[in-house]
């Protein structure tokens, strides 16, 4: 490296260091606090009767491999409900 290039490189490093230090000490982001936009969403939920919840739960057990009477009956009820 020549002497001029070394000096230029040192100046570049010093400028970069000053810019990084200025960015590190910058607290201007604290002054730009904006109000968050709040959007209220209302949705009517469909109420599922307990009977169907029970059928789907036990039919899922049957699909996972349980073969007791309750799961088997729920599976046949599920197939009848879903027209499978």
Q: How far apart are CA 5 and CA 10, in angstroms?
A: 9
pLDDT digits (tens, 9 = 90+) for 26-39: 887 777 777 788 88
Quote the pLDDT of residue 6: 61
Higher pLDDT, 3 or 68: 68
Q: How far apart are CA 42 and CA 44, in angstroms?
A: 7
Is the pTM for the entire model greater than 0.75? no
Q: How far apart are CA 52 and CA 77, in angstroms?
A: 10
């Amino acid at each position: 490296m020549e002497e001029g290039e070394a000096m230029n490189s040192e100046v570049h490093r010093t400028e970069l260091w000053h810019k990084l230090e200025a960015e590190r000490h910058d607290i201007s982001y604290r002054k730009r606090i904006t109000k968050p936009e709040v959007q209220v969403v209302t949705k009517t939920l469909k109420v599922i009767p307990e009977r169907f919840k029970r059928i789907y739960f036990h039919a899922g057990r049957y699909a996972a491999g349980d073969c007791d009477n309750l799961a088997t009956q729920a599976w046949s009820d599920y197939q009848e409900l879903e027209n499978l």
